[in-house]
Amino acid sequence: MKNPINLLIPMLLFLSTAITLTGQISSKLTPTALTFDDLGNPFAGAFFNIGAIHIQNGFSYTDITENTVSAGDDLQRAKINAAGLTVEDFALFPASKGNFDRRELSFSTIGGSEGNPDEESWRVGLTDAGIFDGGDPVVSAFSLEYHRLQGVTPTDISFLFANPSLGNLTIGSSAATGDAQLYIYEDGSQQVGVWTNQLATANFTTWGAYFANSGSGSGNRYGVHGYATTGGGTKYGVYGDNDGVGTAYAVYANGDLAYTGTLSMVSDRKFKKNITSFSALDRVMKLQPRSFDMKREEFKRMNLAAGRQFGFIAQELQEVFPELVHQQKNVITNEIEPGKLTTEEIDYLGVDYLSLVPILTQAMQQQQNMLEDKETRISALERDNETLENRLNELEALVRQMAQNNTAQGDPNVGTLSSARLDQNQPNPFSGSTAISYFIPDTVRTAEIRFTDAAGRVLKSMILSERGQGKTILETDQLSQGIYFYSLVLDGELVDTKKMQAVK
């Protein structure tokens, strides 16, 4: 015969569950074979004993408020003690006015000791939008929150807040944000606010994140807006990265690219090796700058530059500087319907225009060195020419003197011209005007000073009426910058010639 206790235990477990459910609905538990203890609350609980078996329905809640339910821990416990088998079905539903306002369900674990509590709870449910009033229409937001109290240190984290009146969802905060359909708040306990990771291994195009702004209207549109601010440290509004394998771009702009700050390219010596000088003038002289229009109609989706452009043809530049021409790929994304994307790939050659800066700089420096060398050679030639001109003038004066001496031997009256004198003009070089001093013997009948250019053309003749020591002022406003000559002519004879230089 079977032991009756073995038959009673399953039945009592079933009855315990049934009594628990009944206790949640009504306190009118009056079985004749059971005992009921109110404990000050009609719903405090029910228990009964059958021999050594103690069964308790521990459904209990205090200060209950209508329509509020929150569930605690220890929903069911079972143990065996010295008195026999004890089965406890225990559910604690603490309720409060605050819970009613928020219409939320709380799952709590309460522990610790007096003065050093250790509590943890999750709260999920509806949050009343505005001040609670039983007569208000139902306007609620859905939320998920976490609370932890260890000692005197509370921790409150809001994971989710959905507001139907604004039509948005907030993650990480319980504050309503009207300007964002999805708002993610991170207070600094985590490094990343949003982290997406596309791990597809198939051979097709994938996106870690795709943002589109294609609304109608005339306002400004941003597909992605990056902003960073902090009291210290480095800030990145948008940071792009790639693995550097094959055709790889950290940032690719399908259209015009503009900025208001500076564009900085890595150039620190610590990143460089095999540093050498180079000569570029010969290759620069082979470049073919061009003016052109982009084929905007043929390649509409690439958003090519409008208007007349200046630059190089990649294929032509590649023949001179192959280092500056690189293979490029534009993968154009097209949203054919909401949530479905297609791509179009276009291969082309691109030019590294920034690297032309040091190349053109070196070519200009090389050309400047060549110009300076030529200027040095020209200056040396001018000095040599001046020396030769001075020697030529000395020879001409000597020839004239010899001619005068020969003439004086045949005609004693002419010998008086030997005392004539023509001085160097002052100042020299000059600008505007210059003074010329001279001496003419009294026996001279006619006297003049002739002015000629470097080609020997007579520009002006000044008649001198005074005899003896004299001076004349030459106004040179009409003379251009250059070398000129002036000669003293007495009685038709050339006595002396001097050189002067006009400057502006």
Helices (H) and strands (E) in the chain — how many of each? 5, 22
- Nearest in space to 124 (alpha carbons), one of 103, 154, 97, 96: 103
Q: If residue 483 lies in a helix (H) or strand (E), which one and from where to where? A: strand 482-490
Copy the structure tokens of residue 281. 């003038």
Domain 413-502 has CATH 1.10.10.60: no
For residue 129, the model assigns a pLDDT of 53
For residue 150, the model assigns a pLDDT of 86
> Tens-digit pLDDT profile for the chain (504 aa)?
444 344 434 444 444 443 333 333 333 333 333 343 434 434 344 455 555 554 444 443 333 334 333 333 333 333 444 444 444 333 333 433 344 345 567 777 777 777 788 888 887 876 655 554 556 555 667 788 888 888 888 888 877 877 777 778 888 777 666 677 787 777 766 667 777 777 777 777 777 787 777 777 888 888 888 888 877 888 888 888 888 787 888 888 888 888 888 888 899 999 999 999 999 999 999 999 999 999 999 999 899 999 999 999 999 999 999 999 999 999 888 877 877 888 889 999 999 999 999 999 999 999 999 999 999 999 999 988 888 888 888 787 777 667 656 554 544 444 457 788 999 999 988 888 899 999 999 889 999 999 988 888 888 899 998 889 999 988 877 788 888 899 999 998 888 999 998 887
Q: Is 486 exposed, middle or buried (0-12, 13-18, 19+ CB in 10 A)?
A: buried
For residue 189, the model assigns a pLDDT of 62
For residue 232, the model assigns a pLDDT of 80
Residue count of the chain, please give it. Answer: 504
Copy the structure tokens of residue 437. 């001093």
For residue 137, the model assigns a pLDDT of 58
**CB contact burial 102-120 (16+ within 10 A = b; e otherwise):** bbbebebeeeeeeeeeeeb
For residue 273, the model assigns a pLDDT of 95
Instruction: Indicate the pairing of strand 53-57 with strand 458-463.
Output: unpaired
Residues ≥6 apart with Cβ < 8 Å to 429: 500, 501, 502, 503
Class level of CATH domain 278-410: mainly alpha
Distances (CA, A) of 50 to 21, 37, 55, 87: 20, 16, 8, 12
For residue 276, the model assigns a pLDDT of 94
d(CA 54, CA 46): 11
d(CA 496, CA 417): 11
For residue 144, the model assigns a pLDDT of 82
Q: Please say whether the beta carbons of 427 and 501 come within 8 A.
A: no
Task: Compute how many other C-beta atoms are within 10 angstroms of the C-beta atom of residue 220.
Answer: 6
For residue 46, the model assigns a pLDDT of 46
Q: Is 389 exposed, middle or buried (0-12, 13-18, 19+ CB in 10 A)?
A: middle
Q: Is 431 exposed, middle or buried (0-12, 13-18, 19+ CB in 10 A)?
A: middle
